[in-house]
Structure 1
Amino acid sequence: MSTTVELTRFRAARSDELLAARPAMLADFRSDRAGFLDARLVRLADEEWLDIVEWRSAADFAASRAKGANLPGIAAFFASIDELVSMDEGVTA
């Protein structure tokens, strides 16, 4: 069974704030986002990060995007991001 993968690359100069907000964001996703499977945060060079999020389906990912930062943990994580670099969506093989 294939899943949908969200690849979001962003800049965050306040890495301590970003990492402190991560557990609450993940807890909010688990409680509020149907189809959320897993997420991995990768530190890149020059204050850039790659967030790899796996969803059960493209529809689940779209529904999550529509909700935006609707819960405090998600809002705090998003607030620690300085700049969105790219956002891609793919399907596992």
Structure 2
Amino acid sequence: MAIELARFTIHDGAEERLVAERPAMVDALRRRFPGCLAAYLTREDDGSWLDVLVWRSRAEAERAAREVGSVPECAAWFRHIAESGGVRHVDVVAAWTADGADA
């Protein structure tokens, strides 16, 4: 498994639309890239955002990062982003989940 970390800020007044459009964007992302296992949109204390996506593999995460702009719902959602702080991928070395499944 791999985790994608995408930090960004949004345009003033865009928060409501960013959150409201999120389900359709994630649904389209998962249809195009089925290796996406989970997605968490978080807001940091400084007001910036961190999108955390869990992927079946790093290769799938990196492919999606290269091609995500070709998914119309994703491209439309990105219009809310004022500034990107970059995207990083990290490999999951060990994991624990509440349902008891270890990675």
TM-score bin (small chain)? 0.7 to 0.9
Q: Does 1:11 align with 2:9?
A: yes
Aligned to 2:70: 70
CA deviation vs aligned residue, 1:1-56 (integer Å, no higher than 9, x gap): xx100011100131112112211111101211031111001111343101000111
Unaligned regions of 5+ residues in structure 2, if any?
95-103
Aligned to 1:88: 88
Aligned to 1:22: 22
Q: How does 1:29-48 map to 2 (within 5 A)?
A: 29-48=29-48
The offset of 1:65, in angstroms, is: 1.6
The offset of 1:69, in angstroms, is: 1.7
The offset of 1:83, in angstroms, is: 0.4
AA partner of residue 25 (structure 1): M
The offset of 1:88, in angstroms, is: 1.6
Rg larger for = 2
Unaligned regions of 5+ residues in structure 1, if any?
none
Structure 1 runs of 4+ off > 4 angstroms?
none
Query: Identical aligned pairs, as a percentage?
Result: 34
**Which structure ranks higher in relative contact order (CA pairs < 8 Å, sequence separation ≥ 6)?**
1
